[in-house]
Amino acid sequence: MQPGASRTGVAGLHGGCLKIRLAARAVEGKANEELVRFLAEALGAVKRNVVIEAGAHARRKRVAVSGAKRGAEALFPTA
């Protein structure tokens, strides 16, 4: 996760993990809120079904998404 970016989106893979840039600062949970919003929208899930399981206060997080209408491939833009 990279907070404070100019816009929210997937930056690609980095060290075997998905790197996401967030247009929110890591202050008072704003970056986590933006991450949940982005993943829910991109995967077609409800925000309450996107849960940060580990790393809520770290750059590297483990997120669980249930009830998604689209798979992880929806996060990667098609060329």
Q: pLDDT by residue (tens digit) across 12-55?
A: 888 888 999 999 998 999 999 999 999 999 999 999 999 999 99
Does residue 62 sit in helix, strand or coil? strand
Of 7-16, 25-34, 57-66, where does mean pLDDT reach its minimum? Answer: 7-16
Domain ranges of the chain: 2-74
Residue 62 token pair: 């483990």
Query: What confidence score (pLDDT) does residue 54 get?
Result: 96
pTM for this structure?
0.88
Q: Which CATH class is domain 2-74?
A: alpha beta
Query: What confidence score (pLDDT) does residue 78 get?
Result: 63
What is the DSSP code string of 39-59? Answer: HHHHHT--GGGEEEEE-TTSS
Query: What confidence score (pLDDT) does residue 2 get?
Result: 82
Residue 2 token pair: 């990279």
Query: What confidence score (pLDDT) does residue 76 get?
Result: 82
Query: What confidence score (pLDDT) does residue 28 get?
Result: 92
Angstrom CA distances, 75 to 44, 57, 58, stand at 11, 23, 21
